[in-house]
Amino acid sequence: MDPKLKLIVKGNPREELQLLLRLKSAHIYPKHCKVISQFGDIISCRILRKDLLSVYDDPATRSLKAPQVIPADFYDDSGYSNVINKVNRHQPKTKKSPVVFGIIDFGFDFSHPDFLDNEGKTRFEKIWVQPLKQSNKNKYGYGEIFNDSHINNALKSREPFKSLGYHPGRNDFIGRGMHGTHVLGIAASSGVISKKSFAGNSPIVAVDMGSSYVNGSDLSLGDSVKLIEGLDFILKQAGNRPCVINMSLGGHCSDHTGNTLVEIAFNNILKKRGGTVIVQSTGNYFLANCHNAGILSQDETIEIEWLFKARDRSANEIEIWYENEDRIAVELLDDEGNVFGESFPFQDSIINYDGIQNGIIFHRHNEPNSTKNHINIILSKRPDSRRLIVRLKGIEISNGEYHAYIERDDVGQSYFSAEDVNTNFTIGSICNAPLTIAVGAYNQEDIYKTPMHFSSAGPTIDRRIKPEILAAGNKIVAAKSAAKFQLKSKSELTAKSGSSMASPYVASLAVKVLEHFPKINIYELRQLLFKSCTTLNSMNKTIINKSGYGVIEVNKLNTLLKLKKKQYENNKST
């Protein structure tokens, strides 16, 4: 059973749980399971806690998962700056794009001029604010959905946020600007304040994941169930129109083979729905010191240092993934070499340190989606010593490869010692799917177009190229949202760095492709974008692992689009 699922088995039997489920057959469902959204064999569903075990054991169920935290892919760039431009540019009348731009993120300033059309009306068709208390009934059972009429009416007010009942900067106390507004501005600015983007004529459908209350716990972040239901919301609104979805989201842990239920859902969408693209930031985890990997031999012991910050008061977590045919034991030791937690294949065990029970080790054989073995170590708090040893023992070894990830923790990130860190395979937890496009960041001010120092490196653990594309990610200027105490947008811009800033640029280029070829399949579209890249000439393995097919070049893409259009017209005439 999924470790997180074991943590929520006990509790109020009548509580309705939000879960992801993989079906053995896409048309046969378990009993006692209410389907909310479906992409092929992946569904999001609601199950009463009293029925959880029966659904898990149902013949129709292949895999059942509790929600996984999906934080925004934010890089803390201390060199950010604000740019104010109060002079609105003259905008010629433009035709509305047939391509819908979907975004799942946090904090959308609908009052910013860059998201208005030529008539001063909103380009947002809908915004689903998932954390808000539901006041308009929707099929998902949470959050509030605002349509363009709601937003346009609010824009007529002197206090549009108050009028609508949604302040995008509710968590922005110091005026740095919300992640979602800036990301959206890079992709879809109409050009009123900042430079017009390639998706500047697209209608926008946005999902604000915000904070979320999941199965009795306030995670203060979005989660995998709400992410999948956000995708469902965007695609339902898009209808038959072509659609590009940007997600600058992700964490550290997962099997990194593209076999999480979220990633399988991504692939199912892209295989079935023509004219659809999902673009993701690869992550800013290269320097996070949160990945360790190695080859463990028979009867060998490997020790890994796990370090904690003094002010870390949050829970901490490690996932270790290894091959199905192997058997690895794990021990946790303190500074003095005392073992206070251990797990042999495939036994769960309690962790006791600092005098009380403070954690648990889950140890699973043959996780049903990746087929790998999985060790999940969860600590309720950091140890007083601030240093632990994770000891791995090779019990039965045929392959020996393992990968260990410390989960992302924006409250107090723990980390491996520098000697134990492997910076490859550090792409985000949900951007390993074969058909999505993962984007890394490069420094556009560097003549060598070097990948940014923080940008995550591939490949996937099953050795596929990720990220596939590099785009500019150094101090990118785009829309800045109003801060918490402001009544509406101040028409400001801000500069931020990160792979989050690279991803929406590539997403906007995908819009450009779909405007020419609205029914193109994902395989052809991927190849168009990859052929538009300039490979970085480097012998450095790290640069190769960060850069994929290279830096995206819009001029190359324009040339390829002209050629493809000419070929299409020639074929049509014959």
Same domain, 277 and 340: no
* CA–CA separation, 273 and 235 (whole Å): 10
* CA–CA separation, 498 and 182 (whole Å): 11
Mean pLDDT, rounded, for 375-383 = 91
pLDDT band at 88 (very low <50, low <70, confident <90, very high): low
* CA–CA separation, 110 and 482 (whole Å): 10
Same domain, 451 and 393: no
- The number of folded domains in the chain is 3
Would the pLDDT of 82 be above 70? no
Same domain, 144 and 271: yes
What residues does 183 pair with on adjacent strands? none
Ramachandran angles phi, psi of 554, nearest 5°: -65, -35
Give Cβ neighbours of residue 50 (< 8 Å, ≥ 6 apart): 13, 14
pLDDT of residue 411: 81
555 located within any domain? no
Q: pTM to 2 decimals? A: 0.94
Mean pLDDT, rounded, for 389-412 = 95
* CA–CA separation, 231 and 266 (whole Å): 9
pLDDT band at 142 (very low <50, low <70, confident <90, very high): very high
User: pLDDT per residue over 151-173, tens digit each?
Assistant: 999 999 999 999 999 999 988 88
pLDDT of residue 218: 38
* CA–CA separation, 265 and 252 (whole Å): 19
What DSSP string describes 467-512?
A: S-EEEE-SSEEEEEPPPTT-SS---EEEEE-SHHHHHHHHHHHHHH
Mean pLDDT, rounded, for 417-440 = 97
Provide the residue count of the chain.
574
Same domain, 325 and 234: no
Q: Considering only CA atoms, which of 387, 392, 379 is closest in space to residue 336?
A: 387
Same domain, 486 and 499: yes
% of the chain surpassing 70 pLDDT: 94
CATH at residue 468: 3.40.50.200
Q: Considering only CA atoms, which of 519, 510, 430 is closest in space to residue 469?
A: 510
Q: Considering only CA atoms, which of 18, 20, 26, 15 is closest in space to residue 2?
A: 20
Q: Which two tokens stand for residue 436?
A: 């999505």
User: pLDDT per residue over 25-76, tens digit each?
Assistant: 999 999 999 999 999 999 999 999 999 999 999 999 999 999 988 877 665 5
Same domain, 281 and 296: no
Task: Assess contact for 282 and 466: CB atoms under 8 A.
Answer: yes
556 located within any domain? no
3-state SS, residue 82: strand
* CA–CA separation, 286 and 424 (whole Å): 8
What DSSP string describes 392-416?
A: EEEEE-SS-EEEEEEPP-SSS--EE
| Stretch among 86-90, 451-455, 550-554 having the lowest mean pLDDT | 86-90
Mean pLDDT, rounded, for 507-523 = 97
Same domain, 311 and 368: yes
